[in-house]
A and B are shown apart, each in its own frame.
Chain A
Amino acid sequence: STQFIPPYTEDCRTEMYPPNGPTFRGAVSWYTVDLDLPPSKRWTALITDKKTDLVNMIQAIKDLAYAFVPSGRLIELVDITLVSVIFPLTFSLNLYYIFLIPFCNLGEVVLFNIFYEVFTV
């Protein structure tokens, strides 16, 4: 199959570590999540740093949803009904506090967090 024909496959790479070159985009930053804190504070520092990237990612998924359902009904389904129908209380509390940092709808955050199950659709 095409998979075994160069350039889509290659000899086993060596000397790639420490990560460098064109296959290494960048390092990953560290955050501490203090489980002794109430959910409202655990994620604030992280989400404050990443909220622009999170909004961009959720917008990309919304654009995809609009491409499939231009009427916007799919987005409405996510924004309005998903939360009440789908989520166990404990974790939704966690998510709820992410929602309190108001820049995206709780339904969209819920969808992001159950995307593994939804993706099989």
Chain B
Amino acid sequence: CTSIVAEDNKGNLFHGRNLDFGLFMGWDVKNKSWIISEKLKPLVVNLDFKRNNQTVFKSTNFAGYVGMLTGIKPHIFTLTMNERFSLDGGYIGILEWILGKRDGMWMSFLTRSVLENAHSYEEAKTRLAQTKLLAPAYFILGGNQTGQGCIITRSRLLSIDMLEIDLKLGRWYVLETNYDHWEEPLFLDDRRTPGMKCMNQTTQKNISLKTMYDVLSTKPVLNKLTTYTTLMQVSEGKLESYIRDCPNPCMPW
């Protein structure tokens, strides 16, 4: 996965993501593609959750999956999550759950609860940072005011780090793939460097949903695992998604 929150020089916030999934879950030799990724693409849908006929939040989902990986609470905040690998991973959380220790939350149900019930960027950030989880994760959150964009690096029990947009430091965007931002990514899976190169080449002046789609369309940020791209603009309450393909030659991940 790759998630980006960026602020242009007029203070507009844009949030984009590629949802990559299906690694090592069966390779289709004839079509040179991952089996599960290809099976997930037809299931991609956009959902508009309404109460009293008013939109509460919108999301991009796989049909049949009731948790949230990508969503927007119009005019308030945008949220995506990326997988975080850790030895203290989800299987330990599941084991504790089975043994009756049930104070942790399933990741995608926390994001669903935040999208449905949080009323501000700050409230969403607090809940994503402090709620116990069954599995580690990265939460990438965008708000509706200047500077409101962050990556929350979570272990199952703690919030390990929070990297926020800081215009004074020249950090006009935050970009997360699947590795802690203070460490080098796996040398065989560095989507961060090409992603940041393209964001820097785009510049803060020119960042928009359009140019963010360009960044998310550049290999290896776009790869064989990419099922969809979602673009969100909180001030417009806008969410749009596109099912992706990565024609050969293309990185398997």
Contacts and interface: CB of A to CB of B under 8 A. Distances in A.
Interface of A: 1-4, 7-17, 19, 22-36, 43, 46-47, 49-50, 53-54, 56-57, 60-61, 63-64, 67, 85-86, 88, 91, 94-95, 98, 109, 112-114, 116-121
Interface string B122-153: 00000000000011010000000000000000
Contacts of B83: 116, 119
B135 A120 contact: yes
Contacts of B247: 22-23
Contacts of B50: 32-36
A25 B41 contact: yes
Q: Is the interface of B mostly helix, strand, loop or mixed?
A: mixed
Contacts, number: 204
Given A10-B218, A13-B218, A117 B194 contact: no
B120 interface: no
Contact of A47 (B63, B106, B222): B63
Contact of B187 (A1, A11, A27, A57): A1
Interface residues of B, number: 77
Nearest to B84: A120
Contacts of B245: 22-25
B174 to A, nearest CB: 18
B106 A121 contact: no
Given A114-B106, A117-B94, A61 B36 contact: yes
B93 interface: yes
B58 to A, nearest CB: 9
A49 to B, nearest CB: 8
13 contacts: A3-B251, A10-B218, A19-B213, A24-B242, A27-B242, A31-B46, A50-B43, A56-B42, A60-B36, A64-B36, A94-B66, A117-B90, A120-B90
Contacts of B45: 28-31, 46, 50
Contacts of A86: 94, 97-98
Contacts of B107: 116-117
B66 A17 contact: no
Contacts of A49: 63
B89 interface: yes
Contacts of B169: none
B39 A56 contact: yes
B201 A12 contact: yes
Contacts of B162: none
A12 B91 contact: no
Given A25-B245, A29-B46, A114-B106, 8 more contacts: A12-B202, A13-B218, A34-B50, A34-B51, A50-B63, A56-B39, A64-B25, A91-B109
